[in-house]
Structure 1
């Protein structure tokens, strides 16, 4: 699918029956010219594919996964989810550690619920907080002083200020767990 520039995105669907030139072109882009997908001028924004997320495909910028069929094995489920759990990269190939960007959304059927719950429990037991914001969450973000152009880290005090704002607006609860009110696209920070 391609999203064009301008007010309305142009959506183009391609025949993926395996019998067309368009299918060959899509395969070349997805499987062999992956670096092109990192270019901000590349109009492709969504890839619908039954094979792109299988073993051998390694594009770190996967942000949504929608399972359209039941995956029978835990290994297949783990491989698919693993495609979206990598830190994304920018156009220069540098890892982006911004949690506002590095988020994976999985749309799944009911049979995925038990697997997802077990996977999240496994991460939690390994010390990975899922769905929580810590007071120091934003401390390592780089900010630029508009007057001098000098870069510095946001720091723990300012990170705690953001945390307190999120808490006061009920975006997170008293333990830092993200609430249903949290919609990153709508969030307007003060100042």
Structure 2
């Protein structure tokens, strides 16, 4: 068998969380990935005016050669907007963690985020919504690591903008339709991960066209 590595998928969501479509790409198909993103932006721009920014959730830091085709595509569309790359990663027990000393079990409340470096943050995604009550059956998940990059660097210095981007990640973590329990990772990362695991089982490692605009894998 040939070892084919996948970036995962490019999932397109509207700003209100509505799922649009997804595409799958192999690790070396960065131009195709960029093309899919630009196509989604173009379709969105056709029915919505005043696009102010493009936000991409990615499982790692995006290299310049991966970002450049996206910037070129936006330029071709006549869109002079900033591109935000929010890199989202799981943490491990050896990574940086934080504690809520006001609670006996120490886990910070869900939605809490802490800056741990230059444009680097920890976001706590759990089911502790109430400061006094918590179901221990939900466990104690580690926070996720976020790194925010913008093509207009001064924008990541704005607290309001950063808070909006982190809140968006948090809200997408509450949209996991396979369970009523909030997930640690947002669906923008979780869903592509699920599809990438299933993709090798399709003939020709290709998902049929009719399967790209619905969430069949749930």
TM bucket, shorter chain: under 0.3
Normalising by structure 1, what TM-score?
Answer: 0.26
- Which has more radius of gyration? 1
More strand, by proportion? 2
- TM-score normalized by structure 2? 0.23
